[in-house]
Amino acid sequence: MALSQPIPDRGSSRSNSSLGHLANGPWTFDGEVTRIFDDMLRRSIPQYDVMRSVVFETGRHFVRSGTTVVDLGCSKGAAIAPFVVEFGAAARYLGVEVSPPMLEACRARFRREIAAGILEVRSLDLRDEYPDVQAALTLAVLTLQFTPIEYRTRIVQDMYDHTLDDGAVVVVEKVLASSAPMDGVLTRAHGELKRTNGYSQEEVNRKRLSLEGVLVPVTAHWNEDLLRRAGFRDVECIWRCLNFAAWLAIK
């Protein structure tokens, strides 16, 4: 099965296409990145649609009437959106985000749900605090990797402590391979996928340099051990493609 199909450009430089975006300096989730974010993920993550589907199809089994779904690092709301569509007012939803442009975009996306009082998008830095809510399901999709390693143990412990009994978390991360040679193979394959999806080699190189020290992946084993040490009784890898993986952890 192909990892990805070539994605055509969607038009002019004023569109939401991420082609031609050349990162300059350390990576930030600014207004320009927010504008092109959805297209950037689709061109950069192998089996992107499969990943999104797996997050929803596994997570939905833990949402019960009157419970809360939390999305840590919600960006523009792509992870929580299918839960809002599926469960509507039967559940409550909380997205937390630190980037002001992402907050603005997410609030605009869910303005009706916010007005109805079933969804909140909160400005919150996970390095400093954790939302005071007990969740049936917590999503952390490509979030922990942007958090300094020294904070991750405490954040994952907070995830566990703020999960209802029999609730769950779904974590998606970019990961390191188990050895340097294997990591090199996966990194080259990932670069080829991005070039297949329209990025030039310069775009690939500039983004990689921009993300150094900002996106800090660890191994799949490290992530699984972090979840188990926090107290989750069952931890299972539910999707993996190249150097990206997702886990379901049940309390």
Q: Strand, helix or coil at 89? A: helix
Nearest to 84 by CA among 72, 94, 99: 94
pLDDT at residue number 25:
78
Q: Strand, helix or coil at 220? A: helix
Angle formed by the axes of helices 149-161 and 220-230, nearest 10°: 40
Q: Which residues of the chain register pLDDT less than 70?
A: 1-14
- What is the spatial distance between Cα 60 and Cα 136, in angstroms, rounded to a whole number? 10
Nearest to 147 by CA among 49, 56, 39, 72: 72
pLDDT at residue number 4:
53
pLDDT at residue number 7:
53
What would the two tokens of residue 31 be?
């207004």
Domains of the chain listed by start with CATH number: 31-250 (3.40.50.150)
What's this model's pTM, rounded to 2 decimal places?
0.92
- What is the spatial distance between Cα 2 and Cα 189, in angstroms, rounded to a whole number? 12
- Angle at the Cα of 172 (from 170 to 175), degrees rounded to 5? 140
CB atoms within 10 A of CB 182: 12
Residues 6+ apart with CB under 8 A from 110: 77, 84, 93, 95, 119, 121
- What is the spatial distance between Cα 113 and Cα 121, in angstroms, rounded to a whole number? 10
pLDDT at residue number 10:
42
